[in-house]
A and B are shown apart, each in its own frame.
Chain A
């Protein structure tokens, strides 16, 4: 597609529920990133995929957070047993460059706003 697509746009979950957020990156982009953005803050890095390999998951806040990109294209971020502090906008971004190389600009999706009640 023309840009990074994320779904759903909004998600309301009750505390303790599991959620799955989807990201469809720009076609052919090697790198895919997940970020979490709380209100009034800059995006915080969660995890990075190069093709299907998850090369960096240092930003995942707990083992309740899990991400996958099984075929090197679409990615899913799953949050188990959601808590109120998980409420945030989850941004996905893709890039044509690979890890360790000259960093190309990230192209962001519009995000999924997660509200945990």
Chain B
């Protein structure tokens, strides 16, 4: 059974960089047919897709967030990461990582989520 686990600081100061890592277990991140996504959910709100990455390192982003976001992958450590630059209070959210079906683009396994608060 594939498991994903987010890790990173729970508190980030405004204008700084938010960095999170998603560790994948129970399967190889290099295994064919899957992409690896980050999503977020603002408090009391719906879900927002941030972007996904192939194990090759090619990444695709939500156009509304593309300018400030970068996703990277480390296949040797079987994890992938998210960076959000110049954060504001609007970036306060629960951040999820998820495995994404490479043919039909649904999210079949999710991490438990990690709350990141942007505050001075």
Report whether chain A binds chain B.
Answer: no
A residues neighboring B (CB under 8 Å):
none
